[in-house]
């Protein structure tokens, strides 16, 4: 019952920010259903608390109230992860080795899997359905939380840039970038009364299949978010 309630509330929150012109149900293959893309509201720079206060509040949480995340909270979380803060140069809130933005942020809700697109501050629909438990190896709170982020390194970004490391060093650089994203998200979350749990334990096979990950995409880290009780 509780998960149904959470599901309906996050569905309302997400659908309330959908762009009217978004493309509905345009599967990449006949068997793949996709939800609507989501346009996030602009992040509000005056929101939150001081960085020092947020650091004082940061801690891992694995229990949440069941409340929905608001469109504004979703916006702040994704923008903190890898949003554009210097549009002239495609500068981001997160640093990137050699300026190559090779880590992608997937948002997994009760409604589906979405890929964050920093330039448009939108969530691009990847798959429709509740795939939250594919982002864990069995921790039940993950399946009840309104939002799970999955940080994925993409070697295509390095190849397209034509510079940077390969092999283990590439995964190391990507992992560092994912870690700094997760900490920015944790601080914004702390400032907004949202609990977080960063997680290395992800079902790689299940999430790779659900999110249609390709060769060269590497799951690095996950992060669960929900309103604190």
Ligand X SMILES: Cc1cc2nc3c(=O)[nH]c(=O)nc-3n(C[C@H](O)[C@H](O)[C@H](O)COP(=O)(O)O)c2cc1C
- List contacts with ligand X (CB under 6 A): 59-60, 62, 139, 197-201
Q: Which is nearer to ligand X, 24 or 200 (CB)?
A: 200
Given the complex with ligand X, which of 5 and 63 has the nearer CB atom? Answer: 63
d(C-alpha 80, C-alpha 182), whole Å: 9
User: Nearest-CA neighbor of 24 among 9, 34, 14, 10?
Assistant: 34
Could you tell me the CA-to-CA distances from 88 to 91, 94, 101, 156 in Å, in that order?
7, 16, 15, 23
Q: Judged by CB, which is closer to ligand X: 9, or 58?
A: 58
**Shortest spacing between CB 56 and ligand X, in angstroms:** 12
Q: Which is nearer to ligand X, 66 or 179 (CB)?
A: 179
Smallest separation (angstroms) from ligand X to the CB of 136: 8
| Min separation Cβ 80 and ligand X, Å | 17
Contacts of 160-169 with C-beta under 8 Å, sequence gap 24+, read 161/98, 161/99, 161/100, 163/98, 163/100, 164/97, 164/98, 164/100, 164/102, 165/97
Q: What angle do CA 135, 82, 109 make, to 5 degrees?
A: 30
Nearest-approach distance from CB 144 to ligand X, in angstroms: 14
Which residue lies nearer to ligand X by CB, 27 or 193? 193
Question: Which residues on adjacent β-strands are paired with residue 227?
Answer: 194
Cβ-based nearer residue to ligand X, 15 or 59: 59
Please tell me the distance from the alpha carbon of residue 87 to that of residue 9, in angstroms, as a whole number.
33
In the complex, least distance from residue 112 CB atom to ligand X, rounded to whole angstroms: 23
- Alpha-carbon distance of 136 to 197, in angstroms, equals 12
Nearest distance, CB of residue 19 and ligand X, angstroms: 34
Structure tokens that stand for 84 in this block: 């554009």
């Amino acid at each position: 019952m509780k998960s149904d309630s959470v599901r309906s509330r996050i569905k309302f929150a997400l659908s309330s920010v959908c762009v009217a012109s978004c493309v509905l149900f345009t599967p990449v293959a006949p068997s793949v259903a996709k939800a609507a893309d989501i346009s996030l509201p602009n992040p509000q720079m005056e929101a939150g608390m001081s960085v020092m206060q947020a650091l004082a509040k940061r801690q891992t949480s694995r229990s949440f109230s069941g409340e929905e995340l608001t469109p504004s909270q979703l916006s702040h979380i994704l923008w903190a992860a890898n949003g554009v803060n210097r549009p002239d140069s495609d500068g981001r809130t997160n640093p990137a080795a050699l300026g190559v933005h090779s880590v992608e942020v997937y948002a997994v809700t009760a409604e589906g899997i979405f890929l964050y697109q920093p330039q448009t501050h939108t969530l691009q629909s990847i798959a429709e359905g509740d795939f939250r438990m594919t982002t864990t190896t069995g921790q039940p709170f993950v399946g009840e939380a309104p939002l799970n982020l999955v940080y994925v390194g993409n070697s295509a970004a390095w190849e397209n840039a034509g510079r940077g490391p390969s092999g283990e060093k590439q995964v190391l650089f990507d992992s560092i970038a994912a870690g700094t994203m997760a900490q920015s998200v944790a601080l914004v979350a702390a400032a907004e009364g949202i609990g977080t749990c960063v997680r290395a334990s992800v079902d790689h096979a299940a999430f790779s299949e659900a999110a249609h990950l390709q060769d060269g995409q590497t799951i690095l880290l996950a992060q669960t978010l929900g309103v604190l009780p």
